Amino acid sequence: MIALLLSLPVADPMTPCTVTLSPGDDVQAHLVEGAVVCLRPGVYPVPGGLFIEHSLTLRGEAGVVLDAQGRGSVVHVAADGLSVHLSGLVLSHGHAELGAGLRLSGASEVRAEDLAVRANDPVGPQHAGIGAQRGVLHLVGARLEGADGVWLTGVVDATLTDCILSGPLTLREGAVVRVEGGQLDGPVRLRGSTTRAPSLTLVGVRAPQIENDPALPGTITRAKRRRG
């Protein structure tokens, strides 16, 4: 499934908007197949969060905040076979067990650029602002503040490029993760199962705190970042 998802087209960030919304508009109603939804600056209350069930682009201008008001993940991609592009968003005040800001539970491909994840309330041991259980996740220039960490588990293929994480980066079971550039201020934690082990590749980034479970360890590879 992951190999198939990698062939899915990801929307060009310069694709013209199909609809432009302002604070107070119903964002969920416009999340339809093929849409390029553009958000003008301001705070968008999304109580319970946004559910994405179609391939689309959700693009925010500077100063766009999606506020889940303490009810659910701010953005949740639960369906399979989608190609979703998110950019320029602040995800805040989510309240969920896995991915209070952004959650990927479907076997889809999500590319998220220039996200800020802050002031969320992750529930349970995962304690993650961004969480993925399946699919392909590309984070580019994401900023996770405070305790908002990243939790990746199961059949997940993820890349984190030039991201800044204040909270933990946690890999479980068979997650395959590549971190290139950026900053890892919190702990990096790996733990496999009796049948699967996570894999982490660090490219041009330091991880000052690595906790690799001695009984069920993951694999860690380090490489230099190529410039040019």
Percent of the chain with pLDDT over 90: 80
For residue 145, give the H/E element and its range: none
pLDDT of residue 135: 97
Q: What is the mean pLDDT of the chain?
A: 91
pLDDT tens, residue by residue, 56-85: 999 999 999 999 999 999 999 999 999 999
CA distance 134 to 90: 23
Please state the pTM of the whole predicted model. 0.92
pLDDT band at 145 (very low <50, low <70, confident <90, very high): confident
What integer is the mean pLDDT of 20-26? 97
pLDDT band at 2 (very low <50, low <70, confident <90, very high): very low
pLDDT at 144 over 70: yes
pLDDT tens, residue by residue, 174-213: 999 999 999 999 999 999 999 999 999 999 999 999 999 9
pLDDT of residue 1: 42
Q: Within a 10 A sphere around the Cβ of 173, how many other Cβ atoms? A: 19
Between 23 and 98, whose confidence is greater?
A: 23
pLDDT of residue 147: 73
Query: What are the sequence ranges of the domains in the chain?
Result: 34-223
pLDDT of residue 124: 66
Kindly report which listed range (35-39, 115-119, 172-176) carries the lowest average pLDDT score.
115-119
Nearest to 137 by CA among 218, 203, 83: 83
Q: What is the CATH number of domain 34-223?
A: 2.160.20.10
Between 105 and 122, whose confidence is greater?
A: 105
pLDDT of residue 228: 59
